Amino acid sequence: MRTSMICTVINEEKNIQDFIESIQCQTKRPDELIVVDGGSKDRTFEILKENEKKFSWIKTYQLDKSNISQGRNFAIKKSSGDIIFTSDCSTIFEKQWVEKISNGFSTGADVVFGRYSIKPKNIVEKYLTSRLPNWKRIDVNKFLPSNRHVAYRKSVWERVGGYPEHLRRADDNWFHSRSHELGFKYYFVENASVQWILNRNLKTMLKLSFLDSKSEGFSGLFMKRKIYLIELFVLFLFVFSIFLGIIINMRILYFFLLFFLLIFLYEGFLKTFRKLKKLGISFLGIFLSIGLYFAHVFGLVIGIIQRIYRREE
C-alpha cells in the first residue's frame, strides 16, 4: 500500500525542521509528505521549499488564509497514497512509528492510532501531562484520536466527506466521531508512540481550550462528549442554585459553592496527584482545572449561540 503523510502549518519555523528530520529517520518512511502552509509570516514556507528541493518525497503548497480542515482536505486531494497519515509539526515520531502503524492495517482495520506523550517544559505543561488519556483503558470503539498520532485508509476520508471546513478547530474530533458513526474499524497500537511538543503557558492553555470548546459547541459535537455534558450540568446547578437562593434563601448558594469546591478538589488535586505524585502541581491543579472549566463552558456557550446565527464558525 502506498502511504502519504499530510500536515498543515503556520508560523512554525522553530519546529518544522525537527519534524521533517523525525520523518526522514523513520525505519519505514511514508512514500510522500505533503505539507500545506496556511500563510506563514516567518520562514516556515522557505524552510519547506528548501527541504522540497533536497527530498523528492516532500511536496509543499501554500494555501493562504486556509483553516486546518481546508489545508488537510487540500493535502489529501493532492496525495497519491492509499493510507493517509495525519500529523502536525509539533510532533516528533519515534523511529519505528510509521512502520508500526502501517503494520496495524494488516488486522483489517480502517483507522490505526498509537500513543502520544508530553515532555513538559514548565509547570502548566506538567499539569497537562496528568490529563493525557489512560492508554491502558482505551476503548477503540469510542476513542477520538487526535491528528498527531493516527492513520486511516483514504476511503475513510472519502466516506466521511472530508474534514469539516466550517469549523476552525476540533476538526479531528468531528472527523473521528463521524467515522465511528459509519462503523469503521479502529485499531490501537500501544507501543507506537509520538512526542507532542506542547508550547503551552497559562494564557495559551486557556485560549486554546476556549477555542476548541467553541468549535465543539458550534458543531454540536459536545452532545456526544461526556465531559461537556457534566460541565453544562454544573453550570445548570449554579444557575438553579442562584434562582433558589433568590426565591428561598441565599444560603442555598453556599451549598453549591461547597459542591463546586469538592468537584475541583477531585478534578484538580486528586486526579493530578494520582498521576504525578507531586503535591505542588496537584495544589496548583485545583486552580488550573477551575480555569479550564470556565474556558470550556464559555467557549461552549458562545459556540452554541454562534451556531444559531451562522453556518460557518
pLDDT tens column, 229-280: 888 888 888 888 888 778 877 777 788 888 888 888 988 999 999 888 899 9
25's CB contacts (< 8 A; 6+ apart) are 95
Closest CA to 113 of 183, 192, 182, 34: 192
pLDDT at residue 312 tops 80: no
Residue with cell 524552510: 47
Q: What is the mean pLDDT of residues 48-75?
A: 94
Hey, what's the cell of 276? 504525578
pLDDT at 240: 84
The residue among 77, 76, 96, 95 whose CA lies nearest residue 85 is 76
Q: Which has more pLDDT, 157 or 310?
A: 157
Q: What is the pLDDT of residue 235?
A: 86
- Cα separation of 144 and 147, whole Å? 10
Q: How far is CA 43 from CA 63, 84, 260, in A?
A: 15, 27, 47
- The SS3 assignment for 19 reads helix
Q: What CATH class has 3-196?
A: alpha beta
The set of cell numbers assigned to 196 is 507532542
For the segment 23-43, the average pLDDT, to the nearest whole number, is 94
Taking the chain, what is the end-to-end CA distance rounded to the nearest angstrom? Answer: 36
Cα–Cα distance for residue pair 278/274, rounded to 1 Å: 9
DSSP label of 92: E
C-alpha distances (whole Å) from 310 to each of 88, 223, 300, 303 are: 29, 19, 15, 10
Q: Are 180 and 142 in contact (CB under 8 A)?
A: yes
* Summary mean pLDDT of the chain: 92
Residue 308 pLDDT exceeds 90: no
Tell me the three cell numbers of residue 81: 497514497
Predicted structure pTM score: 0.89
- What is the reported pLDDT for 1? 84
User: Residue 160's pLDDT band (boundaries 50, 70, 90)?
Assistant: very high
Domain spans of the chain?
Answer: 3-196, 202-309
Report the percent of the chain where pLDDT is more than 70.
Answer: 100
Q: What is the mean pLDDT of residues 40-62?
A: 94
pLDDT digits (tens, 9 = 90+) for 111-147: 999 999 998 999 999 999 999 999 999 999 999 999 9
Q: Are the C-beta atoms of 100 and 192 separated by less than 8 Å?
A: yes
